[in-house]
Amino acid sequence: MLTEVTATRYVTPLREGGSLPGIVEADDLGTYVMKFTGAGQGRKTLVAEVVCGRLAQRLGLRVPELVQIQLDPVIGLGEPDQEVQELLKASGGLNLGMDYLPGSIGFDPLAYQVDPVEAGRVVWFDALINNVDRSWRNPNMLVWHGELWLIDHGATMIWHHNWPTAAAAADKPYNAHDHALAPVGPDIAAAAAELAPRVTQDLLMDVVADVPDEWLVDEPGFDSTDALRRAYVDALLPRAATIHERISTEKPAKAPQGPPGWLTDHLTDWPHPTQKKSEGK
Protein backbone atom coordinates (compact mmCIF):
# COMPACT_ATOMS: atom_id res chain seq x y z
CA MET A 1 0.00 0.00 0.00
CA LEU A 2 1.03 3.58 -0.57
CA THR A 3 2.12 5.58 2.45
CA GLU A 4 -0.60 7.94 3.65
CA VAL A 5 0.16 11.50 4.75
CA THR A 6 -1.95 14.57 5.51
CA ALA A 7 -1.57 17.88 3.68
CA THR A 8 -0.68 20.72 6.06
CA ARG A 9 -0.11 23.60 3.63
CA TYR A 10 -0.99 24.35 0.03
CA VAL A 11 2.06 26.05 -1.45
CA THR A 12 1.40 26.90 -5.09
CA PRO A 13 -0.37 25.61 -8.20
CA LEU A 14 1.56 24.13 -11.12
CA ARG A 15 0.05 25.82 -14.14
CA GLU A 16 1.78 23.49 -16.59
CA GLY A 17 -0.61 20.62 -15.87
CA GLY A 18 -4.06 20.49 -17.39
CA SER A 19 -5.49 19.17 -14.11
CA LEU A 20 -3.94 22.04 -12.12
CA PRO A 21 -1.78 19.97 -9.76
CA GLY A 22 -0.27 21.82 -6.84
CA ILE A 23 2.71 21.70 -4.53
CA VAL A 24 1.78 20.89 -0.94
CA GLU A 25 3.58 20.24 2.33
CA ALA A 26 2.53 17.30 4.49
CA ASP A 27 2.73 16.17 8.09
CA ASP A 28 5.71 13.92 7.36
CA LEU A 29 7.67 17.12 6.52
CA GLY A 30 7.71 16.09 2.87
CA THR A 31 6.86 18.25 -0.13
CA TYR A 32 4.71 16.70 -2.85
CA VAL A 33 3.17 17.43 -6.21
CA MET A 34 -0.49 16.74 -5.51
CA LYS A 35 -3.10 15.60 -8.03
CA PHE A 36 -6.72 16.05 -7.03
CA THR A 37 -9.77 13.85 -7.17
CA GLY A 38 -11.84 16.95 -7.89
CA ALA A 39 -9.94 17.83 -11.07
CA GLY A 40 -11.77 17.66 -14.38
CA GLN A 41 -10.12 14.39 -15.47
CA GLY A 42 -11.55 12.61 -12.43
CA ARG A 43 -10.29 9.75 -10.31
CA LYS A 44 -9.26 7.55 -13.26
CA THR A 45 -6.32 9.86 -13.81
CA LEU A 46 -5.15 9.05 -10.29
CA VAL A 47 -5.71 5.34 -10.85
CA ALA A 48 -3.54 5.50 -13.96
CA GLU A 49 -0.85 7.38 -12.06
CA VAL A 50 -0.72 4.69 -9.40
CA VAL A 51 -0.86 1.65 -11.71
CA CYS A 52 1.69 2.99 -14.17
CA GLY A 53 3.92 4.69 -11.63
CA ARG A 54 4.16 1.63 -9.40
CA LEU A 55 4.66 -0.64 -12.41
CA ALA A 56 7.48 1.56 -13.68
CA GLN A 57 9.16 1.45 -10.28
CA ARG A 58 8.88 -2.34 -10.12
CA LEU A 59 10.55 -2.52 -13.53
CA GLY A 60 13.46 -0.35 -12.41
CA LEU A 61 12.42 2.91 -14.07
CA ARG A 62 12.71 6.13 -12.08
CA VAL A 63 9.40 7.61 -10.98
CA PRO A 64 8.96 9.95 -7.99
CA GLU A 65 7.67 8.13 -4.93
CA LEU A 66 3.87 8.05 -4.70
CA VAL A 67 1.83 8.68 -1.56
CA GLN A 68 -1.81 9.02 -0.59
CA ILE A 69 -2.58 12.49 0.71
CA GLN A 70 -5.51 13.29 2.95
CA LEU A 71 -6.83 16.77 2.24
CA ASP A 72 -9.05 18.88 4.46
CA PRO A 73 -10.69 21.46 2.14
CA VAL A 74 -10.30 24.09 4.84
CA ILE A 75 -6.67 24.30 3.77
CA GLY A 76 -7.77 26.37 0.78
CA LEU A 77 -9.65 29.10 2.65
CA GLY A 78 -6.74 31.49 2.40
CA GLU A 79 -6.01 30.76 -1.26
CA PRO A 80 -6.71 33.91 -3.33
CA ASP A 81 -7.17 32.06 -6.64
CA GLN A 82 -10.86 31.17 -7.05
CA GLU A 83 -10.10 28.25 -9.36
CA VAL A 84 -7.72 26.73 -6.84
CA GLN A 85 -10.21 27.28 -4.01
CA GLU A 86 -12.90 25.41 -5.92
CA LEU A 87 -10.52 22.57 -6.73
CA LEU A 88 -9.53 22.16 -3.09
CA LYS A 89 -13.14 22.25 -1.95
CA ALA A 90 -14.02 19.52 -4.45
CA SER A 91 -11.12 17.29 -3.41
CA GLY A 92 -11.67 16.67 0.28
CA GLY A 93 -10.47 13.23 1.35
CA LEU A 94 -7.90 11.04 -0.34
CA ASN A 95 -5.76 12.41 -3.17
CA LEU A 96 -2.46 11.46 -4.81
CA GLY A 97 0.98 12.92 -4.19
CA MET A 98 4.28 12.51 -5.97
CA ASP A 99 7.56 13.33 -4.28
CA TYR A 100 8.65 16.81 -5.30
CA LEU A 101 12.12 16.74 -6.90
CA PRO A 102 13.71 20.10 -6.00
CA GLY A 103 16.08 21.43 -8.61
CA SER A 104 14.95 19.07 -11.34
CA ILE A 105 14.71 20.38 -14.88
CA GLY A 106 12.55 19.39 -17.80
CA PHE A 107 14.11 16.91 -20.20
CA ASP A 108 15.80 18.55 -23.19
CA PRO A 109 17.55 16.22 -25.67
CA LEU A 110 20.05 18.97 -26.53
CA ALA A 111 21.18 19.16 -22.92
CA TYR A 112 20.83 15.56 -21.75
CA GLN A 113 21.76 12.49 -23.75
CA VAL A 114 19.93 9.20 -23.32
CA ASP A 115 21.58 6.00 -24.51
CA PRO A 116 19.60 3.59 -26.75
CA VAL A 117 19.27 0.99 -23.98
CA GLU A 118 17.61 3.37 -21.51
CA ALA A 119 15.55 4.92 -24.29
CA GLY A 120 14.37 1.46 -25.31
CA ARG A 121 13.21 0.68 -21.80
CA VAL A 122 11.19 3.91 -21.62
CA VAL A 123 9.63 3.47 -25.07
CA TRP A 124 8.77 -0.17 -24.36
CA PHE A 125 7.15 0.79 -21.06
CA ASP A 126 5.17 3.59 -22.71
CA ALA A 127 3.99 1.16 -25.38
CA LEU A 128 2.85 -1.27 -22.69
CA ILE A 129 0.71 1.35 -20.94
CA ASN A 130 -0.21 3.07 -24.22
CA ASN A 131 1.18 6.42 -23.10
CA VAL A 132 0.19 9.10 -25.61
CA ASP A 133 1.79 11.89 -23.60
CA ARG A 134 5.58 11.53 -23.94
CA SER A 135 6.09 13.38 -27.20
CA TRP A 136 8.71 15.98 -28.06
CA ARG A 137 5.99 18.58 -27.48
CA ASN A 138 5.53 17.49 -23.87
CA PRO A 139 8.14 14.91 -22.81
CA ASN A 140 6.91 14.48 -19.22
CA MET A 141 10.42 13.59 -18.15
CA LEU A 142 12.70 15.33 -15.68
CA VAL A 143 16.44 15.27 -15.16
CA TRP A 144 17.35 15.17 -11.48
CA HIS A 145 20.85 14.55 -10.11
CA GLY A 146 21.94 13.63 -13.63
CA GLU A 147 19.32 10.89 -14.08
CA LEU A 148 16.13 10.60 -16.11
CA TRP A 149 12.82 10.50 -14.21
CA LEU A 150 9.37 9.77 -15.63
CA ILE A 151 6.32 11.77 -14.55
CA ASP A 152 2.66 12.28 -15.43
CA HIS A 153 1.03 8.99 -16.39
CA GLY A 154 -2.56 10.15 -16.19
CA ALA A 155 -3.10 9.92 -19.95
CA THR A 156 -2.37 6.20 -20.18
CA MET A 157 -4.35 2.96 -20.46
CA ILE A 158 -7.06 4.73 -22.44
CA TRP A 159 -9.08 1.52 -22.48
CA HIS A 160 -10.06 2.03 -18.83
CA HIS A 161 -12.32 4.87 -19.97
CA ASN A 162 -14.28 2.32 -22.03
CA TRP A 163 -13.84 -1.13 -20.52
CA PRO A 164 -15.66 -3.06 -23.30
CA THR A 165 -12.71 -2.16 -25.56
CA ALA A 166 -10.06 -3.39 -23.13
CA ALA A 167 -9.92 -6.95 -24.43
CA ALA A 168 -8.88 -5.73 -27.87
CA ALA A 169 -6.34 -3.25 -26.49
CA ALA A 170 -3.57 -5.84 -26.14
CA ASP A 171 -3.44 -6.29 -29.90
CA LYS A 172 -3.21 -2.61 -30.78
CA PRO A 173 0.16 -1.28 -32.02
CA TYR A 174 2.00 1.66 -30.51
CA ASN A 175 3.14 4.44 -32.79
CA ALA A 176 6.25 5.92 -31.17
CA HIS A 177 7.46 8.06 -34.05
CA ASP A 178 6.48 11.16 -32.06
CA HIS A 179 8.03 9.91 -28.81
CA ALA A 180 10.56 12.25 -27.26
CA LEU A 181 13.18 9.45 -27.28
CA ALA A 182 12.49 8.05 -30.76
CA PRO A 183 15.39 9.94 -32.38
CA VAL A 184 17.85 8.24 -30.01
CA GLY A 185 17.29 4.90 -31.71
CA PRO A 186 15.80 3.06 -28.72
CA ASP A 187 16.82 -0.57 -28.36
CA ILE A 188 13.34 -1.98 -27.99
CA ALA A 189 14.38 -5.60 -28.51
CA ALA A 190 16.75 -5.45 -25.56
CA ALA A 191 14.09 -3.77 -23.43
CA ALA A 192 11.53 -6.44 -24.27
CA ALA A 193 13.97 -9.24 -23.48
CA GLU A 194 14.71 -7.68 -20.08
CA LEU A 195 11.31 -6.34 -19.01
CA ALA A 196 8.57 -8.46 -20.58
CA PRO A 197 9.35 -11.61 -18.53
CA ARG A 198 9.14 -9.51 -15.36
CA VAL A 199 5.55 -8.41 -16.05
CA THR A 200 3.86 -11.37 -14.42
CA GLN A 201 0.36 -11.80 -13.07
CA ASP A 202 1.69 -11.67 -9.51
CA LEU A 203 3.59 -8.43 -10.14
CA LEU A 204 0.56 -6.78 -11.73
CA MET A 205 -1.71 -7.91 -8.90
CA ASP A 206 0.71 -6.33 -6.43
CA VAL A 207 0.71 -3.10 -8.44
CA VAL A 208 -3.07 -2.73 -8.71
CA ALA A 209 -3.44 -3.54 -5.03
CA ASP A 210 -1.87 -0.13 -4.33
CA VAL A 211 -4.87 1.69 -5.82
CA PRO A 212 -7.19 2.87 -3.02
CA ASP A 213 -10.61 1.19 -3.05
CA GLU A 214 -12.44 4.51 -3.04
CA TRP A 215 -11.02 5.37 -6.46
CA LEU A 216 -12.37 2.11 -7.89
CA VAL A 217 -15.86 1.83 -6.45
CA ASP A 218 -19.03 2.06 -8.55
CA GLU A 219 -17.33 1.37 -11.88
CA PRO A 220 -20.06 0.36 -14.37
CA GLY A 221 -19.84 -3.31 -15.33
CA PHE A 222 -17.97 -4.46 -12.22
CA ASP A 223 -19.49 -5.85 -9.06
CA SER A 224 -16.41 -5.32 -6.87
CA THR A 225 -13.14 -3.43 -6.70
CA ASP A 226 -11.28 -6.76 -6.89
CA ALA A 227 -12.97 -7.50 -10.22
CA LEU A 228 -11.91 -4.10 -11.53
CA ARG A 229 -8.33 -4.65 -10.39
CA ARG A 230 -8.34 -7.97 -12.22
CA ALA A 231 -9.47 -6.17 -15.38
CA TYR A 232 -6.33 -4.01 -15.30
CA VAL A 233 -4.20 -7.11 -14.98
CA ASP A 234 -6.02 -8.85 -17.83
CA ALA A 235 -5.44 -5.87 -20.11
CA LEU A 236 -1.75 -5.39 -19.35
CA LEU A 237 -0.50 -8.98 -19.04
CA PRO A 238 -0.99 -10.14 -22.67
CA ARG A 239 0.16 -6.78 -24.00
CA ALA A 240 3.50 -7.08 -22.23
CA ALA A 241 4.32 -10.34 -23.99
CA THR A 242 4.15 -9.10 -27.57
CA ILE A 243 3.91 -5.29 -27.72
CA HIS A 244 7.57 -5.01 -28.80
CA GLU A 245 6.56 -6.56 -32.12
CA ARG A 246 4.15 -3.71 -32.81
CA ILE A 247 6.13 -0.60 -31.85
CA SER A 248 6.94 1.78 -34.69
CA THR A 249 9.55 4.50 -34.22
CA GLU A 250 9.95 5.55 -37.84
CA LYS A 251 9.75 9.26 -38.52
CA PRO A 252 6.82 10.52 -40.54
CA ALA A 253 7.55 11.69 -44.08
CA LYS A 254 7.64 15.26 -42.85
CA ALA A 255 9.28 15.62 -39.45
CA PRO A 256 8.11 18.35 -37.10
CA GLN A 257 9.86 21.62 -37.71
CA GLY A 258 11.81 23.71 -35.28
CA PRO A 259 11.34 22.50 -31.68
CA PRO A 260 14.48 21.15 -30.01
CA GLY A 261 12.58 18.12 -28.76
CA TRP A 262 12.80 16.49 -32.20
CA LEU A 263 16.29 15.67 -33.43
CA THR A 264 16.97 14.14 -36.81
CA ASP A 265 19.37 11.32 -37.60
CA HIS A 266 22.51 11.36 -35.43
CA LEU A 267 21.64 14.83 -34.16
CA THR A 268 23.34 16.44 -37.16
CA ASP A 269 20.59 17.82 -39.39
CA TRP A 270 19.49 20.62 -37.07
CA PRO A 271 21.87 23.26 -35.70
CA HIS A 272 21.81 23.95 -32.02
CA PRO A 273 19.27 26.70 -31.20
CA THR A 274 22.16 29.03 -30.33
CA GLN A 275 23.56 28.64 -33.86
CA LYS A 276 22.38 30.43 -36.95
CA LYS A 277 21.17 28.16 -39.71
CA SER A 278 24.06 29.30 -41.87
CA GLU A 279 26.40 27.86 -39.27
CA GLY A 280 24.75 24.46 -39.44
CA LYS A 281 25.97 21.51 -41.42
Would you call 99 helix, strand, or coil by DSSP?
strand
pTM of the entire predicted model: 0.88
Residue 219: φ, ψ to 5°:
-80, 125
Could you tell me the pLDDT band of residue 277, with boundaries at 50, 70 and 90? Answer: very low
pLDDT of residue 272: 33
Give per-residue pLDDT as tens, 65-111: 999 999 999 988 888 888 899 999 999 999 999 999 999 999 998 89
CA 19 – CA 8 distance, rounded (Å)? 21
Report whether pLDDT(267) > 50: no
Question: Could you state, in order of their start, the residue ranges of all structural domains in the chain?
Answer: 3-105, 106-267
Give the sign of the dihedral formed by CA 66, CA 197, CA 130, CA 184: positive
CA 244 – CA 197 distance, rounded (Å)? 12
CB 115 within 8 A of CB 186: no
Give per-residue pLDDT as tens, 159-216: 999 999 998 888 899 999 999 999 999 999 999 999 999 999 999 999 999 999 999 9
CA 201 – CA 236 distance, rounded (Å)? 9
- Average pLDDT, stretch 270-277? 32
Q: Would you say how long the chain is, in residues?
A: 281
Give per-residue pLDDT as tens, 117-158: 999 999 999 999 999 999 999 999 999 999 999 999 999 999
Report whether pLDDT(252) > 80: no
Report whether pLDDT(275) > 60: no
